[in-house]
Chain A
């Protein structure tokens, strides 16, 4: 397990992992530390952070505990980020695998569709999807996943193109294995590592996309999400800027953690490419 050793030799990767674990711990402990509904009124509105021991991070414009919303927001960000990434990677692998394996017309058609998705700005497509399907937690998660698959698809396709005529695949073909067996059983496991590493980029972008959507009040308003809180804080930005500032730092730290872990994995799995 040289890769694991290499991972822990990089201070940035270890720092990223620690930050990510902290965010995950926040998400898990939210219910324990703050058993009450984070969106329920808790005290006087607009209490400054560190001025009242009951509300360590203060309260927002309507008197809801900011700390509770930060903890519950970690759940939402990780949930949406994780699920949307899973959706994007799944679609990407499917499209990329078929396009790369079969080539020809199938490749042409699939790549045209991929290109169409890449030509349309992903946030604009996200707006269209939200306008059509509404903004509940489920639809937003699926929408973020649906706008994020083209890059993993291209990556998978490139891997398949370089692997499909290797000797081990030809050997499988002579053994009479079916296409689907070759794709899933032989090529995919070899094509997977770079795609998995790329998932960290997709997840970072997905978290940012969801928070931007929530900031514009186009995401689910009934859950405590960091983007929602920043959007709310905008109304009191002039004096109580902390309402927006605190959740923004939470987003920054989470996205930073995910990117650092991805970068660390990349360097650990492809030691020759280190430093790129």
Chain B
């Protein structure tokens, strides 16, 4: 219960941050050249000034900025993100439709990066400065420097065009209607390359942090005690070292939730996944500022949610944190 109240307090503390972000971005978007009505008129193929005035009045764009900001925040309290004139739907609906691919993608690449980062980090730390360590550390440096979109394109060339093992893009096959397990398999096949692409840089970061934190924990007294009582090396690592060495990794997930969400903008564009990131890109190109603001809100919310979960996991890994709080 203590854990929950601690994490809950942190959650409550993030509400002002959220409001600050919304106000900031709302004011920023007022400087944007061209508003929704301009985009709409361009889509309709032009129109006279009277129509534009009428439309602006209809969308409430002719009111003063503070009034509209208050209006926006008041609607937000009721989970109303406004209306997207480009998609002809409420922004909340548009975003909800696009959320599942992004959440799937982020979960998959996070699991990939976390698991292999942990594995490689442990291997590197156990043979520190021997060849596995050198190889893994070098690979980590190269992965860190690889632009994700480029890696994605090259993966498409190799795995989709030459080997034809995996689909080059999309969320599922639209040609054939599948149901049940086959649909899941199909979606999973479509997500392999995007998850690898998005996860690569995080794999590089995790393995580096895991290696460093393993090296630190391995030198602590309690590890020597564990060895002294006759535990074999695998037992020492699995039962004693991992739990403590994992703490920095878990912290990192929370810190990088935002980076990962940002990375999905690029990755979803490479693999034409209909996710939140691609929606962000489209709304910039189409000047759908209402949707863009909605995405800002939802992505901040996602980051806060991830940090909430990280707090819970953290307290579970290290009970001292909950007691101190």
Check B118 for interface membership: any CB of A closer than 8 A: no
A124-B299, A245-B154, A251-B150 known; A119-B21 Cβ under 8 A:
yes
Check B29 for interface membership: any CB of A closer than 8 A: yes
With A and B bound together, what is the CA distance between A132 and B16 in angstroms?
24
A131 and B149 form a contact (CB under 8 A): no
Closest residue of B by beta carbon distance from A122: B262
A122 and B296 form a contact (CB under 8 A): no
With A and B bound together, what is the CA distance between A120 and B292 in angstroms?
13
Chain A interface: which of B82-90, B138-146, B238-246, B316-324?
A: B138-146
A132-B32, A248-B154 known; A121-B258 Cβ under 8 A:
yes
The contact string, 1 if C-beta is below 8 Å from chain B, for chain A 180-212, is: 000000000000000000000000100010011
B150 and A119 form a contact (CB under 8 A): no
With A and B bound together, what is the CA distance between A38 and B147 in angstroms?
23
Chain A interface: which of B52-60, B183-191, B280-288?
A: B280-288
A128 and B28 form a contact (CB under 8 A): yes
The contact string, 1 if C-beta is below 8 Å from chain B, for chain A 219-234, is: 0000000010010011
- Chain B's nearest CB lies how many Å from the CB of A195? 18
Check A112 for interface membership: any CB of B closer than 8 A: yes
> Which A residues lie within 8 Å of B141 (CB)?
12, 256, 259-260
A216 and B148 form a contact (CB under 8 A): no
B14 and A119 form a contact (CB under 8 A): yes
A134 and B266 form a contact (CB under 8 A): no
A120 and B300 form a contact (CB under 8 A): yes
Tell me the interface secondary structure of chain A in the complex: helix
Find the residue from A120, A121, A230, A234 having the highest chain B CB count within 10 A: A121
A208 and B147 form a contact (CB under 8 A): yes
Check A4 for interface membership: any CB of B closer than 8 A: no
Check B156 for interface membership: any CB of A closer than 8 A: yes
Closest residue of A by beta carbon distance from B263: A123
> Which B residues lie within 8 Å of A170 (CB)?
none
Q: Which of B20, B154, B161 contacts A113 (CB 8 A)?
A: B20
B262 and A133 form a contact (CB under 8 A): no
The contact string, 1 if C-beta is below 8 Å from chain A, for chain B 185-220, is: 000000000000000000000000000100110000
The A-contacting residues of B in range 254-296, CB under 8 angstroms, are: 255, 258-263, 265-266, 269, 280-281, 284-285, 287, 289, 292, 295-296
Q: Which of A212, A233, A237 contacts B266 (CB 8 A)?
A: A212
A130 and B262 form a contact (CB under 8 A): no
Check A127 for interface membership: any CB of B closer than 8 A: yes
With A and B bound together, what is the CA distance between A276 and B156 in angstroms?
35
> Which B residues lie within 8 Å of A119 (CB)?
14, 17-18, 21, 258, 300, 303-304
- Chain A's nearest CB lies how many Å from the CB of B141? 6
The contact string, 1 if C-beta is below 8 Å from chain B, for chain A 96-139, is: 00000000000000001101101111111111111111100000
A119-B304, A124-B261 known; A248-B28 Cβ under 8 A:
no
The B-contacting residues of A in range 232-276, CB under 8 angstroms, are: 233-234, 237-238, 241, 244-245, 247-248, 251-256, 259-260, 275-276
- Chain A's nearest CB lies how many Å from the CB of B149? 5
> Which A residues lie within 8 Å of B255 (CB)?
118
A212 and B32 form a contact (CB under 8 A): no
> Which B residues lie within 8 Å of A218 (CB)?
281, 284-285
> Which B residues lie within 8 Å of A227 (CB)?
147
Check B33 for interface membership: any CB of A closer than 8 A: yes
Check A71 for interface membership: any CB of B closer than 8 A: no
20 contacts between A and B (CB under 8 A): A112-B16, A116-B21, A120-B21, A120-B296, A120-B300, A121-B262, A123-B263, A124-B280, A125-B25, A131-B284, A132-B33, A133-B31, A212-B266, A216-B269, A233-B153, A241-B153, A245-B157, A252-B145, A252-B146, A256-B144
| Top 7 closest pairs, chain A to chain B, by CB | A123-B262, A248-B150, A121-B262, A255-B145, A256-B145, A121-B258, A121-B261
